[in-house]
Amino acid sequence: MAGRQVKRRAVRRLRAALCAALPVALVSLLAGCDDPAGAQTAPPGIQRMLDQRAAAVRSRDAGAFLASVDPRAAGYRTEQRRMFANLAQVPLAAWSYELVRTDAFGLPAVAGADGRRVAAEVRLRYRITGYDTAPVTAVQYLTLTDRGGRWRISSDSDGAGSGRRSARQLWDQGPVEVVRGRYSLVLGVGRGTAALRELAGRTDAAVPAVGRAWPGKWAGRVVVEAPQSLERMAELLNTTDLSGYRGIAAVTTGAAGGAPAAPADRVVVNPEAYGELSAAGRQIVLTHEATHVATRTATTSATPLWLSEGFADWAAYRGGDRPATVTAPELAHAVAKGAPPSRLPADGDFRFSRTSRQLARAYEGGWLACRMIAETWGEQRLGAFYRAAGRGGDQGAGQAVRDQLGVAPAEFTRRWRAYVVEQLD
């Protein structure tokens, strides 16, 4: 795909701890590909149809919305009627479509009795009232058909065969129920009001905890999406890899390193893995994910995963009285066997291909590194170190260690190794 693509991360953890495993992930939304020329040379009338469709969503006019759908595409028309109804409770501040290009996924142009058609890449932008200060963006691949001089949408799935899958939203999966908390907005499909209220309550508890741990400015609000199943969660993440997310209780989506006015992140909950956690484990998960939301503007490709995930763990466990041996059982086992880690976790240690024990050791190592910084140099210095590491470019965390902690990277690693043994022996 040509154009700008926000870096996408997916990291996973399966840790044995007092409550339960605490798997997490950080994933970025994909932005659309810019192709102004493709839009400029598109058949006339397409953007006008998209604008009318968007206006119908904003005004909640079902008839005008369905006027944009091909009347001969009966199955797709039924799906669109349902999707429109599913949006009823979602508080929308904005909704628009932008035509990016035509001939987007190899669909041959056809001209004949059945009408002329094109394959279009379209960028949907929307904002949720009170949470999104800039639009959330999702790419759709649509089949458009000219019916008597008027363009209509006939399908949003024809591009799947060529790897062009339209991004799915929660309202594509069923009627969206909305629960508002003090600091949270929970959107769910098929979960029931009680489950959504539980998520809102835990998120409301997480936000102040994150505010006490993270010294940087952030919105202090979190949008949580609660799909009905793991499969539905994967749809929201635009992936078919269920195995990679099976043990993950929640993921955070957002554009790392974005401006303060960037769209609100989404915490997407896997009902299967989340449901297996204890009450304390669920609170840790949501506090961890809310930390990713808070630190998103300071997190860049230069930020090592041991720092971004370790800081989120540190914020989630901060203030608790759980022994380090309980929070970091895999590293404690390694220390007991006389085989403590020789280096800080590398980004590759967080890959899906790692075993659950390897992943746990990576997360535990990052948590202990952040805990050591907070105890040795202070919590404010930990926050400053986090921000400096994200600005470090090619030097990354190494330069931040020198500038913020006043030691060489090798000395920092030596101190961390000694700290791991001291805390877990």
* 91 or 112: which leads in pLDDT: 91
CA distance 214 to 217: 8
Is the domain 36-166 a CATH 3.10.450.50 member? yes
Dihedral of CA 396/399/403/404: which sign? Answer: positive
| Residue 329 pLDDT > 50 | yes
Q: Where are the alpha helices (DSSP H) in 277-355?
A: 279-295, 305-317, 324-327, 329-336
Q: Is 373 left (phi over 0), alpha (psi -120 to 50) or beta?
A: alpha
Question: By the 8 A CB rule, do 110 and 132 touch?
Answer: no
Those residues whose C-beta lies under 8 Å from the C-beta of residue 383, and which sit 6 or more positions away, are: 214, 215, 216
Task: Provide mean pLDDT across the span 26-52.
Answer: 64
pLDDT value, residue 392 = 77
pLDDT at res. 216: 87
Is the per-residue pLDDT at 16 higher than 70?
Answer: no
Indicate the residue type of 208.
P
pLDDT at 22: 38
Total residues belonging to the chain: 425
The tokens for 228 are 């009905």
For all residues of the chain together, what is the average pLDDT? 87
| pLDDT tens per residue, range 106-158 | 555 555 445 688 999 999 999 999 999 889 999 999 999 999 899 999 999 98
SS3 category, 88: coil
Amino acid making up residue 314 = W
Q: What distance in Å separates the CA atoms of residue 53 and residue 311, rounded to the nearest whole number?
A: 43
Q: Which residues contact 141 (CB under 8 A, 6 or more apart)?
A: 104, 105, 119, 120, 121, 122, 156, 158, 159, 160, 164, 165, 166
Q: Which of 16-30, 74-88, 168-182, 250-264 has the lowest mean pLDDT?
A: 16-30
User: From the CB of residue 415, how many other CB atoms can be counted at a distance below 10 Å?
Assistant: 16
- The H or E element spanning position 409 is helix 409-424
Q: Output the CATH code of domain 1-21+185-298.
A: 3.40.30
What residue spans define the domains of the chain?
Answer: 1-21+185-298, 36-166, 300-425
Give me the sheet containing 250-253, strands edge to edge: 24-27, 250-253, 266-269, 222-226, 184-188, 177-180
| CA–CA gap between residue 14 and residue 360 (Å, rounded) | 6
